[in-house]
Structure 1
Amino acid sequence: MNFYLLDWPGSFRAGNYLLLSAAKYKMNTQLLHNETPVRDGAANLQRGVETVGGWLFLTDQRLIFEPHSRNVQKQVEVVNLSDVAFVHPAWTLFFGLVPLFPNSILLSSKRGADLRFTVSNKTAWIEAIQGLL
């Protein structure tokens, strides 16, 4: 007997097998001269009360979030790694207020702006970003 359980974002379980989304997202943002992709994956960005689904890209110079077309808020978010003050584990917030799950990362800029991303394997994301700071 198979069962299906959402293992979010970007995958689901069928029985004992984790099935990742077969559709790999192609980055639309142009890479800078000498910029190298490091990591990418499905992610959600908390923007106020809306959770914006899309794809997160980490390069050796920037963090780029590209929302998918089903969102109300469709603007691309680009953060230069030189502007990042720190990154650490965080909670996914329901309506931007109520903590739900500890599966997010919080990225704080040197200007005081915070971005909260829900990702799979937050520890690997945090280690990859910290390794480039």
Structure 2
Amino acid sequence: MELRRNESIRKENIAVSLFRGIEVVSGRLTITSDRLYFQPNSLNIQTQSLELHLKDIAAVEKRNTLFVIPNGMKIKMHNGQEHKFVVWKRAEIIGMIQDSKMKQKMTVIIKTR
């Protein structure tokens, strides 16, 4: 992953799995000041990365995997798409994403004034 101008890494190499249809794709998540970037492990059948811009995220929620395991995270986009992840320390990760969104909004307000 290549950083863009004025973008900084908040947390990287977070071990996660992403649900893509019926397949669970394991990989690494990076949280930056502008986006979330999921890079699948090379051993997966599906190896396409996923990039979610913070400004496009409507909500980040806790969810249970298999209805009972409290290790899931759902990211809802403004366009209606949903991305479901399995992640350890989900409260910490969700907090980082929400914090990054808040800091991004503050930066936009400061730049436009």
Deviations 1:26-60 (A, max 9, x none): xxx11111111011211100111100000011001
* Equivalent in the alignment of 2:16: 43
* Equivalent in the alignment of 2:87: 119
Q: Aligned equivalents of 2:59 and 2:100: distance in 1?
A: 11
Letter in 1 for 2:19: Q
Q: Aligned equivalents of 1:65 and 1:77: distance in 2?
A: 5
Unaligned runs of 5+ in 2: 102-113
Q: Are 2:3 and 1:31 aligned?
A: yes
More helix by share: 2
Q: Aligned equivalents of 2:68 and 2:45: distance in 1?
A: 22
Three-state SS of the structure 2 residue aligned to 1:130 is helix
Name which structure has the greater RCO, CA cutoff 8 Å, separation 6+.
2
Superposed CA RMSD in Å reads 1.0
Q: Aligned equivalents of 1:120 and 1:53: distance in 2?
A: 13
Unaligned runs of 5+ in 1: 1-28, 94-98
Letter in 2 for 1:105: M
* Equivalent in the alignment of 2:111: none
Letter in 2 for 1:70: L
Letter in 1 for 2:55: S
Q: Are 2:54 and 1:86 aligned?
A: no
Q: Percent identity?
A: 34
Superposition map of 1:6-17 within 5 A: none
Q: Aligned equivalents of 2:62 and 2:16: distance in 1?
A: 14
So what's the TM-score if we normalise by structure 1?
Answer: 0.72
Structure number, greater radius of gyration: 1
* Equivalent in the alignment of 1:66: 39
Tell me by how many angstroms 1:132 deviates. Answer: 2.0
Three-state SS of the structure 2 residue aligned to 1:30 is coil
Equivalent pairs, count = 100
Q: Are 2:43 and 1:75 aligned?
A: no
